[in-house]
Amino acid sequence: MKYTLKEVKQNILKIYDELTPVEKSVADFFLSNTKVIDFNSRNISKLLYVSEATLSRFAKKCGYKGFREFIFDYKKDLSASVQEKDFSALAMRVHDNYLKLFDESYELLDEPQMKRIANLVNQCKRVCVYGMGSSGFVANEFRLRFMRTGLYVEAITDSQMIQMNSALVDEENLVIAISLSGKTKEILAGIRLAKKRNAKVVLITANKNVKESEYCDEVLYVAMSKDLDSGTMISPQFPILVMIDVFYTYYFENDSFFKAQKHKETLSALNVTQNEK
């Protein structure tokens, strides 16, 4: 069994949250690309509709001297393939890391806080969940799960939509902002603006030094592992999903009969729709 080394992609993921929207479009291309093409800066700038200066800045943010050095390593990653060794040992490392994160997640649990957040959700008319990148997947998962309990939830994963939404929320809305690193500029800006609009704000993060926490009604901390930054061994969403599962349990216990009925009605509606196709 073979796998491809992706050191350059790991470097991109480590600084992804710190990139500008234009630089993120460059990052998205190199993260998703699997083909060897003409990586000349002029060709890439035309392909992505960005300037060569943008490519240079992007490469330097990734830790390279310039775009040429970035491409040199990137091309090696595309062509390099190594034989995987000792699968059982690697699987055990993943297993141990998951157990460690489970234990750390349990230690971070704050039952009174879970109940306070559940009350915030119950008291609002609408929940807006902000998340980008891997946190965007979590935002969509949150929306799918909680809508089934009768809650009106929006998952907002686009930077411009986050800006617009945070300018429109009010005191009847709850914003749940997700940023594992606590450094996603668009998310932090959304928090500040939403609070100015008198919305309730909950931040989910692993960073205990987020300045914007002063704008939040609650900060829900999740476990962190060095492998989460790059997503090389454990999915970055995992510790957030663990906390959301715990919170879902607390929330569901509050007026569980009504929510169970709504959940049943939602599933029935889905079954009807599928049968009509």
How many domains is the chain partitioned into structurally? 2
Q: Are strands 173-178 and 126-130 parallel, antiparallel or unpaired?
A: parallel
Task: Specify whether 212 is located in the same domain as 258.
Answer: yes
Task: Specify whether 78 is located in the same domain as 110.
Answer: no
User: Which CATH number covers residue 271?
Assistant: 3.40.50.10490
Task: Specify whether 13 is located in the same domain as 52.
Answer: yes
Q: Which of 49, 82, 115 is the last residue of a domain?
A: 82
Tell me, yes or no, whether 94 lies in a domain: no
Domain that holds residue 8: 2-82
Tell me, yes or no, whether 93 lies in a domain: no
pLDDT one-digit tens code per residue, 17-61? 899 999 999 999 998 888 889 999 999 999 999 999 999 999 999
CB contact set of 243 (below 8 Å; sequence gap of 6+): 105, 108, 204, 220, 222
The predicted pLDDT at position 102 comes to 86
The predicted pLDDT at position 32 comes to 87
Task: Specify whether 212 is located in the same domain as 253.
Answer: yes
Task: Specify whether 50 is located in the same domain as 112.
Answer: no
Q: Which of 67, 82, 97 is the last residue of a domain?
A: 82
The predicted pLDDT at position 154 comes to 97
Tokens 């993120």 belong to residue: 24
Task: Specify whether 139 is located in the same domain as 244.
Answer: yes
Task: Specify whether 61 is located in the same domain as 186.
Answer: no
Task: Specify whether 178 is located in the same domain as 218.
Answer: yes
Instruction: Compute CA 175 distance to the chain's CA centroid, rounded to the nearest angstrom.
Output: 15
Task: Specify whether 109 is located in the same domain as 76.
Answer: no
| Reported pTM | 0.64
Query: 55 by DSSP, 3-state: which?
Result: helix
Task: Specify whether 178 is located in the same domain as 62.
Answer: no
The predicted pLDDT at position 148 comes to 86
Task: Specify whether 8 is located in the same domain as 54.
Answer: yes
Tell me, yes or no, whether 202 lies in a domain: yes
Tell me, yes or no, whether 227 lies in a domain: yes
Q: Which of 47, 82, 117 is the last residue of a domain?
A: 82
Q: Are strands 200-205 and 173-178 parallel, antiparallel or unpaired?
A: parallel
8 Å CB contact between 216 and 190: no
CA distance readout (Å), 204 to 58, 85, 188: 28, 37, 11
Task: Specify whether 118 is located in the same domain as 38.
Answer: no
Per-residue pLDDT of the chain (277 residues; tens, 9 = 90+): 333 336 888 889 889 989 999 999 999 999 888 888 999 999 999 999 999 999 999 999 999 999 999 999 998 888 764 444 456 777 777 788 888 888 888 899 998 999 899 999 989 999 999 999 889 999 999 999 999 888 999 999 999 999 999 999 999 999 999 999 999 999 999 999 999 999 999 999 999 999 999 999 999 999 886 555 444 567 778 889 999 998 988 887 766 544 555 556 655 655 554 555 5
User: Which CATH number covers residue 33?
Assistant: 1.10.10.10
Tell me, yes or no, whether 45 lies in a domain: yes
